[in-house]
């Protein structure tokens, strides 16, 4: 058989390997999210058990500033929308739009963390520290764990902005942005649970 009649399968093998790697990455990230969900479920359960243990300290109704927390919740939910716009821009091949929406998402995430740190500092200044009661220990642990996740997400956003500047909308970068999208929306879902279960029910 001549060289002209030998089928060239290199491209097809490469494409198959690419899709397999992408599918494995997404599957692995889904598994990670499920394990993270178990961690938060444990923290929610712990808070549910300890939320009434004030040990003479302040109760949720006495220390929670619901308007501030509602504002912070709105900021995080809007950041989820802006990340959605980034994904739309990515699908349309608009590098500049993708980077711009990611930057806005990161700024909103930073505002969320900043307000949360302000809340923590105010509570500690008023004497409501994690050592005050079991309720406050569970509260700080749950909310701070979520805040650390958001901080990690912001760092991931910064890394992705650098990688997009260097390599553009490369398939690997698109796959990473999809994983980050799942992570960011997951944090939104968890925070809705925190806002409802911890703050809203706490002040009722």
The 10s digit of each residue's pLDDT in 133-168 is 999 999 999 999 999 999 999 999 999 999 999 999
Mean pLDDT of 2-11: 40
pLDDT value of position 55: 87
The mean of the pLDDT values for the chain is 90
Predicted confidence at residue 7, as pLDDT, reads 43
27-48+61-203 classified as CATH 1.20.120.80: yes
Of residues 95 and 3, the one with the higher pLDDT is 95
Mean pLDDT score, 115-137: 96
- The arithmetic mean of pLDDT across residues 171-194, rounded, is 96
Contacts 24+ apart (CB under 8 A), 78-82: 78/108, 79/104, 79/105, 79/108, 79/109, 79/112, 79/184, 79/188, 80/184, 80/185, 80/188, 82/108
Q: Which of 14-18, 22-26, 85-89 has the lowest mean pLDDT?
A: 14-18
As given in the structure block, the two tokens for residue 39 are 């961690």
Confidence tier at 15 by pLDDT (50, 70, 90): very low
pLDDT of residue 177: 96
As a whole number of angstroms, the distance between CA 29 and CA 137 comes to 30
Q: Tokens for 81? A: 């929308």
Average pLDDT on 49-78 reads 94
Under the banding of pLDDT at 50, 70 and 90, the label for residue 22 is low
pTM above 0.85, yes or no: yes
Which tokens in the block code for residue 144?
Answer: 């701070």
Confidence band, pLDDT 50/70/90 cuts, at residue 83 = very high
Place of tokens 């649970």: 193
At 106 the pLDDT is 98
Is 196 in a helix, a strand, or coil?
Answer: helix
Tokens of 114: 């900043």
SS3 at position 151: helix
Q: Is the pLDDT of residue 204 over 90?
A: no
pLDDT at 56: 86
Q: Please determine, for residue 45, whether its predicted confidence score (pLDDT) is greater than 90.
A: yes
CB neighbourhood size of 111 (10 A)? 16
């Amino acid at each position: 058989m001549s060289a002209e009649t030998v089928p060239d399968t290199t491209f097809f093998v490469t494409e198959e390997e690419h899709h397999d790697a992408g599918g494995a990455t997404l599957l692995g990230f889904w598994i990670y999210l499920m394990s993270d969900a178990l961690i938060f479920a444990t923290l929610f359960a712990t808070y549910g058990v300890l939320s009434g243990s004030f040990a003479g300290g302040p109760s949720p109704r006495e220390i929670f500033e619901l308007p501030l927390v509602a504002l912070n919740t709105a900021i995080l939910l809007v950041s989820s929308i802006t990340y959605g716009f980034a994904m739309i821009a990515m699908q349309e091949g608009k590098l500049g739009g993708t980077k711009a929406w990611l930057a806005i998402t990161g700024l909103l995430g930073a505002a969320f963390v900043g307000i949360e740190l302000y809340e923590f500092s105010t509570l500690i200044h008023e004497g409501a520290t994690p050592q005050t009661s079991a309720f406050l220990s569970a509260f700080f642990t749950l909310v701070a764990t979520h805040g650390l996740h958001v901080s990690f997400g912001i760092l991931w956003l910064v890394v992705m902005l650098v990688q997009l500047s260097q390599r553009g909308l490369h398939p690997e970068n698109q796959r990473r942005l999809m994983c980050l999208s799942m992570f960011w929306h997951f944090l939104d879902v968890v925070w809705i649970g925190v806002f409802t279960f911890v703050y809203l029910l706490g002040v009722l």
